[in-house]
């Protein structure tokens, strides 16, 4: 399947992406005091969000860049918590002091591109041919010959599991090849065996106490790339391919949505929102503490998992009609106000290259360039020795051969669509509505907002 590419939902967070999805709009919390970023400085400002490990990794990357480019324009990193990020970007743009380069959620990226606030990278492809060697799905086009950004890095969905939990349950590890992916029923069966109450009973056993669960089998993927992949695996999705028809109320989509809700309320193998908590721990903590045995999350979760020395493995997602993973990611863009466009493009290319930075070897990012998926010598430059067994099959082979782009990456007006979808999905998550009620109830709200898709152009 041809890879297109991702939508890092607007202002997505790791946890939000897991729980409700890439499209969950961030709460516009008041940001910290604004500081001038660009628009006239002698340096380049790189603005980003991320976990504590990611913050350290970005700092190290920028420090290395400054050492290697000591005679050029210095680069300063500006970390901003993801919850404040979108608001701060908006405020900086309004004050004519945007950063030179920054992470952007997809919705905000398209909005800024349409207002000519971002550098049109198409004007630089002749001077910088490295801009043309990325996977087609990694580009964000906003019109003919108008290239707003690439993804920060390739993102794909993976089934992570605690190897100790599987060993204790006496289960074979999940499949690592797409062609052998579990069916949904096989996934549920494993999740039941892995769910244990305080007395060691699983949900299939008499006396199982659902109010005192020591280890859940999984977390229900009510949103994000995990849900996108499962929907696509069953031939379903939120909208039609041309972005003009609402399709989440198809029989195939409702089946997937109901199956996910049933993980919580019928099979009792996944925590409810109350059990998960408003400030649920990260994937690495959930697996490390064995609060959960299996979690669907993006490849970026590898950084924290490796740093935390969690005993974990990776597997392909369960499938319906065909095995799939969803690919996607937030955008990395250069702001048009930069006084150093060439230097900004060079930094842009630098942090995308696994040969220059260790963000790829430490598991945070996957490369954009196709050669890093097809050439063994190039693969070895970013797949570290400490990566889990079968990472290549799960992440590389599945992305190349079974990847499908997150639907909202190229769907116009996706932020407005998510503002309707997110609360509806929350009612599915809380059990206040069935999948059929949620999906059918959204039709009247979604249809007036559909505006088609963004263009795709070859380089």
pLDDT tens digit sequence for 255-271? 999 999 999 999 999 99
- Looking at the fold, whether 281 and 417 belong to one and the same domain comes out as yes
In a domain, 389, yes or no: no
Does the pLDDT value for residue 24 go beyond 50?
no
pLDDT of amino acid 308: 87
CB 329 within 8 A of CB 186: no
* Position 19 confidence tier, pLDDT thresholds 50, 70, 90: very low
Mean pLDDT of the chain: 89
Does the pLDDT value for residue 25 go beyond 80?
no
pLDDT of amino acid 118: 98
In a domain, 359, yes or no: no
Q: Mean pLDDT over residues 434-441, rounded?
A: 98
Q: Name the region of 243 (left: φ>0; alpha: ψ -120 to 50; beta: rest).
A: left
pLDDT of amino acid 346: 95
Does the pLDDT value for residue 304 go beyond 70?
yes
25-39, 207-221, 309-323 — which is least confidently predicted?
A: 25-39
- The pair of structure tokens assigned to 368 is 């954009």
pLDDT of amino acid 369: 94
In a domain, 27, yes or no: no
- Looking at the fold, whether 295 and 318 belong to one and the same domain comes out as yes
pTM of the entire predicted model: 0.86
pLDDT of amino acid 7: 34
Total of domains in the chain: 2
54-68, 210-224, 380-394 — which is least confidently predicted?
A: 54-68
- Looking at the fold, whether 115 and 237 belong to one and the same domain comes out as no
**Residue 190, CA distances (Å) to 44, 78, 269, 281, 297 in order:** 50, 43, 10, 23, 18
* Position 116 confidence tier, pLDDT thresholds 50, 70, 90: very high
pLDDT of amino acid 226: 96
- Looking at the fold, whether 219 and 125 belong to one and the same domain comes out as no
Does the pLDDT value for residue 15 go beyond 80?
no
**What is the b/e burial string over 436-451, where b = at least 16 CB atoms within 10 angstroms of the residue's CB?**
eebbeebeebbeebbe
- Looking at the fold, whether 310 and 336 belong to one and the same domain comes out as no
Does the pLDDT value for residue 223 go beyond 50?
yes
Does the pLDDT value for residue 21 go beyond 50?
no
pLDDT of amino acid 41: 65
Domain hosting 222: range is 157-326+407-453
């Amino acid at each position: 399947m041809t890879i297109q590419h991702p939508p890092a939902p607007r202002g997505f967070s790791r946890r939000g992406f897991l729980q409700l999805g890439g499209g969950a709009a961030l709460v516009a919390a008041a940001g910290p005091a604004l500081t001038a970023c660009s628009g006239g400085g002698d340096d380049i400002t790189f603005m980003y969000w991320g976990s504590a490990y990611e913050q350290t990794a970005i700092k190290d990357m920028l420090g290395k860049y400054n050492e290697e480019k000591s005679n050029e324009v210095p680069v300063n990193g500006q970390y901003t918590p993801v919850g404040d990020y979108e608001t701060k970007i908006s405020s900086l743009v309004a004050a004519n002091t945007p950063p030179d380069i920054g992470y952007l959620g997809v919705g905000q990226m398209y909005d800024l591109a349409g207002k000519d606030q971002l550098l049109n990278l198409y004007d630089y492809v002749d001077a910088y041919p490295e801009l043309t060697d990325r996977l087609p799905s990694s580009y964000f086009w906003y019109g003919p010959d108008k290239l707003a950004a690439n993804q920060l890095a390739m993102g794909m969905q993976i089934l992570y599991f605690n190897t100790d939990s599987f060993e204790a349950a006496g289960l074979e590890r999940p499949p690592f090849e797409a062609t052998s992916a579990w069916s949904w029923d096989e996934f549920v069966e494993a999740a039941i065996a892995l769910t244990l109450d305080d007395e060691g009973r699983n949900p299939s056993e008499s006396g199982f106490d659902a109010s005192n669960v020591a280890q859940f089998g999984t977390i229900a993927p009510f949103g994000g790339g995990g849900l996108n992949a499962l929907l696509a695996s069953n031939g379903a999705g939120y909208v039609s391919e041309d972005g003009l028809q609402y399709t989440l109320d198809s029989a195939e989509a409702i089946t997937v949505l109901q199956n996910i809700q049933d993980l919580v309320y019928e099979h009792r193998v996944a925590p409810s929102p109350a059990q998960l908590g408003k400030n649920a721990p990260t994937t690495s903590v959930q697996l490390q503490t064995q609060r959960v045995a299996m979690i669907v999350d993006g490849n970026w979760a590898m950084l924290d998992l490796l740093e935390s020395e969690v005993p974990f493995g990776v597997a392909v997602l369960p499938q319906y009609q065909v095995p799939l993973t969803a690919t996607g990611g937030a955008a990395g863009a250069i702001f048009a106000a930069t006084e150093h466009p060439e230097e900004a493009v060079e930094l842009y290319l630098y942090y995308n290259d696994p040969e220059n930075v260790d963000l790829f070897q430490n598991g945070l990012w996957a490369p954009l360039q196709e050669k890093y998926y097809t050439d063994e010598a190039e693969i070895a430059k970013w797949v570290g020795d400490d990566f889990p067994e079968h990472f290549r099959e799960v992440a590389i082979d599945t992305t190349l051969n079974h990847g499908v782009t997150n639907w909202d990456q190229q769907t116009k007006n996706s932020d407005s669509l998510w503002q309707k979808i997110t609360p509806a999905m929350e009612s599915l998550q809380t059990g206040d509505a069935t999948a059929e009620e949620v999906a059918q109830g959204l039709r009247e709200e979604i249809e007036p907002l559909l505006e088609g898709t963004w263009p795709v152009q070859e380089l």
